[in-house]
Chains A and B, each alone.
Chain A
């Protein structure tokens, strides 16, 4: 597609439930990033993929968070046993992976845990 697409745009879930957030990057972009943006804060890095592999997952807050990118394109961020503190906007970005390029961001998924 023309830009980074994230679905759903909004997700409300009950505490303890499992959620999946999807990111469809710009076609051909090999680098994909997930960020989390809490209210009044800047985006915080969660995980970075180069191709199919997670090259850096140092930002994942705990083992309830997991992400995959099985074919090197679409990525899914998975959150198990959601907690109210997980409520935030989850942003995905993609980048061409080489050279002096910027990351392009999707519109984000607003996750609310009630």
Chain B
């Protein structure tokens, strides 16, 4: 079955500390991977995406993610978290073909403490 697992429901990180949000996927075809962020009352904003090539991808707001095919993972990282990063983060997987919908994980809520 196709699925995305985000094992951490809620994470609290101190401002300035590093962050890693985990994402594991199960997908039958070549995966096409995304991280989205959602602030309260807002829509989903794309942070970064992986299609092919270099397995370390850079995104907006200083985020990066690494695709590890052997582990079926696509973890999101940031070296130094800012208070404004507090939000909900969703990992999603899809196929390259335009007609396929994305499958989302249940999300990880990030809180940032001062």
Contacts and interface: CB of A to CB of B under 8 A. Distances in A.
Interface of A: 4, 30-31, 33, 35, 40-45, 48, 50, 55-56, 59, 91, 93, 95-108
B96 A108 contact: no
Contacts, number: 61
Contact of B98 (A59, A98, A107): A98
B42 A107 contact: yes
B43 A106 contact: yes
B102 interface: yes
Q: Which of A4, A30, A55 is most buried by chain B, counting CB atoms within 10 A of its CB?
A: A55
A43 B104 contact: yes
B95 to A, nearest CB: 11
B98 A31 contact: yes
Interface of B: 4, 32, 34, 36, 42-46, 49, 51, 90, 92, 96, 98-107
Contacts of B34: 102
Given A41-B107, A42-B107, A91-B43, A55 B99 contact: yes
